[in-house]
Structure formats: structure tokens, C-alpha cells
Amino acid sequence: MPVPPRSALPAASFTEAALESRTLLVTGGAGFIGGNFVLDMLARHRDLRIVNLDALTYAGNLDTLAPLADDPRHRFVHGDIGDGELVARLLAEHRPQAIVNFAAESHVDRSIDGPAAFVQTNVVGTLALLERARDHWRGLDTDQRARFRFLHVSTDEVYGSLGETGRFTETTPYAPNSPYSASKAASDHLVRAFHHTYGLPVLTTNCSNNYGPFQFPEKLIPLVIQKALAGADLPVYGDGRNVRDWLYVADHCSAIEAVLMRGRPGEVYNVGGDAERENIQVVRTLCALLDARRPRADGQGYASQITFVGDRPGHDRRYAIDSGKLQAELGWRPAETFESGIARTVDWYLANQAWCQRVQDGSYRGERLGTAA
């Protein structure tokens, strides 16, 4: 089929009105960010329906979606984004107005030990999803085609590592340094190519490190909380001076919604919270919050459990995001500061230890990963 010149497409948008009474196909919606997105969107949009396709890897957890168990607006489908037949069937049956692609292998340390799974899901899987999305989109009428969106959720790690100064913008050249970020970079390029080659109305978001409820306790913040409460060592890689730009997960979800509704097809939007912190600062903040809320019986502070361990191979030194385009074009602002978001997060983990125990009963038991290099 010939490619419609983009200038010929009607300037339709995926507006707030369009979001009501509509269906989204969300992939990876049993994971950390996808789960928060599904819960939040259904809480705020009464007539929205979500088809949630998730392979339930170690990182996917149906407990997160328990509040939706009896909600007819949520349909969970256990399956792989790389299963073209299944995706084609879901698209034909539910006719979603947009696909939001969270599904991924997402943990850098795991990508060091086993990169192949990252290429399989993040690259091959995303390609399969794009192909089925393109075929579905081509079969829509002109108006539906103009309103359809494929939103790809990606990471700031594709841009590589920064020195002491500067921030990543949407035009920063890609320079991924881990198998994880390389696989996400490849998927971003495929998404871009499907817009330029086939005209598919894609959107890409590149976001900084997230934290908040329902994050699997292998990532820094929930890992430190769980280990602190268990009286275990709190492992800090290298000298602890690596800097990440932290964003509360609900703010990432609101950014994705803004991009979905008002973003310009073909565009990339960086998402970040303007909250650069060294890893050691994050760990000390968590210790102080836990000291105040759940003091150790022996009167010592949790910071006494901090232990510096050998650095992660290829550990990027600093990430910082310039989200000026998203703020200026789409009016997005984060609602949480790092201080308010991290306090809410600690409170959530303290109140949801049963969730943490259940997800940790699976394959992951808090062991060190990512030392295979």
C-alpha cells in the first residue's frame, strides 16, 4: 500500500473526549509502570476499556491488578507481544484506538547476564507488535487512521552517559552502553522507521528512572527498603556517586497520557522530574525515612547497613533529562517532588509488605545479578 504523505493526514488528535468510550491495548500492564498506568487510567476515565497483554515474566504480577478483578472494563490477556497471530486477533476483536507499549525486559543487571532475552522481547517483540499495528491501522477508515496512535514507552538510557553537566534532549545522539539500553534503542529506531516508512502515527517517550508503588524489588529503591527491613546489607555500586534523575511513577503515567492525547505523531518526548540524586543520597534518604517510621530495635540507624560493592560493568555515570519540550508543548508538569514522592513510596512499601513477599516468592530472591561481564 502506498504511504500517505503525512501532510495529507487530517490534523485529528487523540483528545480527552476521544479517550472516553474508547479502548486501549496496553502491553506489559502487569509490570511496574504499566500496572500503575492501567490502574490510574481506569480510575480516572469511567468509560475507558483496556485490553492488557502481558507475558507474566518474573516482573509481571497479577496481584498488582487485583483491584480490577471484577471490573468489566479491564480484560487481561496472558500472551507475548511477539505472538503476531494473538496480537492480530486482539486488534480485530477489540479495535483499540491506541496501543501503549510498556512490555519489555527492563533490568540492566539481567541484561548483562543474559542479553538474548532483551533482544527477543524489546527488539523482535516490538517489531512484531509494530507490524500487526501497521496492518490493523491500514484497514481503518481515514478518520480512524488519523486518530490511531502507537505509543512506545522508552528510557533515557538510550542516550548513554553524561559528564558533570548537560542534560539529554530529544536530539541527543543515541549512545547506549548496556545490552538493555541497546535493545531499547533498537526498538526506538524501529518505531521511528515505521512512522517514516509506513506513516504509522507513532509517539515515543524517553523517561528517566521511575520509582513508586508496585516496583519489583530488584531495582534500587524497593531493593533498599526490603533489605533494610530484613536487616541485610544495603549494596551500593562503586562509590555511590552515579547520578539518576528520579521521577515518581504517577508523574510518568500522566506524561504518557498527555503525549497520547496531545502529542504530535512522529515526535519524541523526553520525560523527567528534574530530580538528580546520587545513588548514595537516595539510599541515605530511604534510611532516614525508615528510621523515622520503623526504627530498628537496637537503636542504630539503617545507614549502618550500607555496604559499597564492586561497580556494575559499564555503569553509566550520570543521566539527566530536559523535559522542556513536553512541558512547553503539552503543558505537563510532575506533581511530586523527589522528597514527597520518596516519602509516599516508603509508606506504600511499609503498608504493602504482603505484595512484596508474594512477588519475591518467584524466581528472584534478592541475589546480586549483572556480574557476568
**Catalytic site residue from 105, 156, 188, 276:** 156
- Which lies closer to ligand NAD via its Cβ, residue 308 or residue 364? 364
- CA-CA distances (angstroms) from residue 67 to 42, 64, 73, 131, 132? 11, 8, 12, 33, 30
Determine if 124 is a binding residue for ligand NAD (CB under 6 A): no
Q: Rounded to an integer, what distance in angstroms lies between the CA atom of residue 224 and that of residue 5?
A: 51
DSSP string, 86-114: HHHHHHHHH--SEEEE------HHHHHH-
Sole binder of ligand NAD in the list 25, 26, 33, 202 (CB under 6 A): 33
Asked if 55 interacts with ligand NAD (CB under 6 A), we say yes
> Which range touches ligand NAD (CB under 6 A), out of 48-56, 68-76, 262-270, 279-287?
48-56
**The one among 87, 153, 256, 342 contacting ligand NAD by CB under 6 A:** 153
Distances (CA, A) of 183 to 66, 108, 174: 31, 11, 12
Tell me whether strands 149-155 and 234-237 are parallel, antiparallel or unpaired: unpaired
State the CB neighbour count (10 A cutoff) for residue 93: 10
Answer for the pair 221, 258: CB distance below 8 angstroms, yes or no.
Answer: no
Count of chain residues binding ligand NAD (CB under 6 A) = 32
- CA 292 to the chain's CA centroid: 30
Q: Does residue 121 touch ligand NAD according to CB under 6 A?
A: yes
d(C-alpha 30, C-alpha 2), whole Å: 37
Binding string to ligand NAD for residues 189 to 208, with x set by CB under 6 A, is what?
------------------x-
* Residue among 34 and 199 whose Cβ is closer to ligand NAD: 34
Catalytic site includes residue 180: yes
Asked if 49 contacts 23 with a C-beta cutoff of 8 angstroms, the reply is: yes
Binning the chain into helix, strand and coil, the percentages to the nearest 5 are 45, 15, 40
Minimum Å gap between C-beta 252 and ligand NAD is 7
Q: Check residue 254 for interaction with ligand NAD (CB under 6 A).
A: no
Q: 70 to 109, contacts with ligand NAD by CB under 6 A? A: 80-82, 102-106
Of the candidates 105, 157, 245, 316, the residue annotated as catalytic is 157
Task: Identify which of residues 146 and 158 has a Cβ nearer to ligand NAD in the complex.
Answer: 158
Q: Where in the sequence numbering do the catalytic residues fall? A: 156-157, 180
Chain residues binding ligand NAD by CB under 6 A are 27-28, 30-34, 53-57, 59-60, 80-82, 102-106, 121, 125, 153-155, 184, 207, 209-210, 216
